[in-house]
Homo-oligomer: A and B are copies of this chain.
Amino acid sequence: MKGLHVPKPSKRDQLLDATKELLWDVGYEAMSPRDIQDRSGARPGSLYHHFPSKLAIAGEALCDLAKEDVASTNDFFSTDAAPLDAVRQYLFLKRDGRRGCRFGRLVNETSIESEEIRRPVTAYFDAVRTNLAQSLHKAKEEGTLPPDLDTETLSISLLALIQGGGILAKAYQDYSYFDRAMEGALALISGVARA
């Protein structure tokens, strides 16, 4: 009988959903419990009944988000496309430039020092890096990329590129900076690739 009807969402779920949106929109520090309450339609009693603190609800929300995004990243790379094409497509994947990466945006906040926040962030980064590294490695095995290329290191560069591209887009308030950052890197990759 599972899934035959949509169960009424519990206040707990509504609180978590509101927190997920706020973490993306404004980050952790700028998100007040009051904001969560207003957006979810729940009152303080509900919030502190289900979660001991702001950090706790943010941590659970972020873990959910990381799970989702790790899964969709794995999906994206489970493709029949040529490995280097998968990488190219991933770099130009449509992202929400206005809000930037929901994980990367948290890194410069004080809260990154708590494991509740840091763990889901690095879990997401690890997933992206691993998928990129695997595709680059396959491309090397195919002979599309030169055999002496360090694909592990390159995957770190590409992850940094994506994160930095988001920073530039936001600073300049212009998403085209993100795409140009990707293009520059792709030109280099194409430059070393065997057709």
Contact = CB atoms under 8 A, between A and B. Distances in A.
Interface of A: 26-27, 29-30, 100, 104-105, 107-110, 112, 118, 121-122, 125, 146, 149-150, 153-165, 167-168, 170-173, 177, 180-185, 187-189, 191-192
Nearest to A165: B160
A104 B156 contact: no
Nearest to A25: B110
A57 to B, nearest CB: 20
B171 A156 contact: no
B184 A157 contact: yes
Main secondary structure of the interface of A (DSSP, over half): helix
A115 to B, nearest CB: 11
Nearest to A146: B191
Nearest to A186: B157
A175 B125 CA distance: 15
In this complex, the member of A149, A158, A162, A164 whose beta carbon has the largest number of chain B beta carbons within 10 angstroms is A164
Nearest to A168: B160
A164 to B, nearest CB: 3
B122 A171 contact: yes
A94 to B, nearest CB: 18
Nearest to A126: B172
A79 to B, nearest CB: 23
A78 B191 CA distance: 29
27 contacts: A26-B110, A27-B108, A29-B29, A104-B108, A107-B170, A108-B108, A108-B167, A108-B170, A122-B171, A122-B172, A125-B172, A150-B183, A153-B180, A154-B188, A156-B168, A156-B181, A156-B184, A157-B180, A157-B181, A157-B185, A158-B184, A159-B181, A160-B161, A160-B163, A160-B165, A164-B164, A188-B189
